[in-house]
Chains A and B, each alone.
Chain A
Amino acid sequence: MDLHSLLILLFGGTLFGLSAFLLLYLTGRSFGVSGFMESCLYPISADAAWKGLFLLGLITGGILLRYVYPLGVDVSSDVPLWQVLIAGVCVGAGTRIGRGCTSGHGLSGFGRLEARSIVATMVFMLVAMATATLLGRIS
């Protein structure tokens, strides 16, 4: 990794932590994408409006990335689509049973040093690493 790529990572990481903090500091709203999504599904929650607005912001940011940093939306996957679908169902169901994902537990809860988020993050990180490593060996 060269210095330029490292600086981009440090910039991205800092902007990520800072934006999630500012959301909490200025509005009292805690960043957690899976919870935001769930609120917008049937039956719709009372606070679905601002959570939906947040998701719209993510999409707007994704479109902006095309112009300011196209590499950020240069996404690819060689996983068969039926496996992608199963994985999607696991991520949707798992994040709602566990009440959080990489954002709600991994950044917000962990950052606030909440024990349940630290435990959840360690569990999903280890399980994901085991899954990715095993599947990587097989393919």
Chain B
Amino acid sequence: MKKNIITFLCAVAIALALGYSQISRPQIVLGFLNLSENWDPTILISYGTALVVYMLLYHLFLSPGIRNPFQDLKSGKERITKDLLLGATIFGIGWGMTGICPGPAIIGLTSLKPFMFVFVIGMVLGMQGVKLFFKKG
């Protein structure tokens, strides 16, 4: 029960954070992904900050000492599979077309804008398709 309350509160905080970060706004995310003459670094700043904060806290409190990711590669603990590369590529295409990724899509539903509902419907179809037709381990 306590775990679930914490989970819910963290989700609320994350939604607020994505708003302040501008990550919830597809038009701003596209300004970062589109490397044209008026490139917008907004998302680089907010996402970069989040990544550094998470990385520092994790390595300070949960896993003391910095791991060398390339060591894991060699030991075979972290497998770079064909599925990982294929999935990341397909995801990148969809994200680059719209500037929307899963978290902001869910939060975006509260705007009641039709395109957010269309995107979430597409996402559910894509997920359900993979879940039913590709046997994932």
Please list the residues of chain A having a beta carbon within 8 angstroms of any beta carbon in chain B.
1, 6, 8-27, 29, 31, 33-34, 37-38, 41-43, 49-50, 53-66, 68-69, 71-77, 79, 81, 83-103, 105-108, 110-116, 118-121, 123-133, 135-137
Instruction: Name the residue on A nearest B53 (C-beta).
Output: A17
Whole-angstrom distance between the alpha carbons of A79 and B27 in the complex?
Answer: 10
Chain B, residues 38-70, CB within 8 Å of chain A (1/0): the string is 000110011111111111011101110011111
Whole-angstrom distance between the alpha carbons of A14 and B92 in the complex?
Answer: 25
Across-interface contacts of A115 in B (CB, < 8 A): 69-70, 72-73, 78, 80
Distance of B82 from chain A, by nearest CB (Å)? 10
Whole-angstrom distance between the alpha carbons of A51 and B37 in the complex?
Answer: 41
Across-interface contacts of A13 in B (CB, < 8 A): 17, 21, 45-50, 53
Whole-angstrom distance between the alpha carbons of A125 and B88 in the complex?
Answer: 9
Using a Cβ–Cβ cut-off of 8 Å, how many residues does chain B contribute to the interface with A?
109
A-B contacts at CB below 8 angstroms, number = 459
Contact for B34 among A64, A68, A100, A132, CB less than 8 A: A132
Please list the residues of chain B having a beta carbon within 8 angstroms of any beta carbon in chain A.
3-4, 6-27, 30, 33-36, 41-42, 45-55, 57-59, 61-63, 66-70, 72-73, 78-81, 83-111, 113-116, 118-132, 134, 136
Q: A127 and B92 in contact (CB under 8 A), knowing A16-B21, A72-B16, A92-B126?
A: yes
Instruction: Name the residue on A nearest B62 (C-beta).
Output: A25
Asked whether A124 lies within 8 Å of B95 as measured between CB atoms, the reply is yes
Contact for A85 among B49, B69, B119, CB less than 8 A: B119
Asked whether A55 lies within 8 Å of B36 as measured between CB atoms, the reply is no
Which of the listed residues B41, B78, B85, B88 has the most CB atoms from chain A within 10 Å of its own CB? B88
Distance of A22 from chain B, by nearest CB (Å)? 6
Contact for B54 among A17, A88, A98, CB less than 8 A: A17
Asked whether B92 lies within 8 Å of A81 as measured between CB atoms, the reply is no
Whole-angstrom distance between the alpha carbons of A74 and B25 in the complex?
Answer: 7
Q: A33 and B33 in contact (CB under 8 A), knowing A61-B14, A75-B25?
A: no
Asked whether A132 lies within 8 Å of B96 as measured between CB atoms, the reply is yes
Across-interface contacts of A88 in B (CB, < 8 A): 94, 98, 100, 105, 118-123, 125-126
Asked whether B15 lies within 8 Å of A12 as measured between CB atoms, the reply is no
Asked whether B34 lies within 8 Å of A119 as measured between CB atoms, the reply is no
Q: A92 and B125 in contact (CB under 8 A), knowing A85-B119, A107-B50?
A: yes
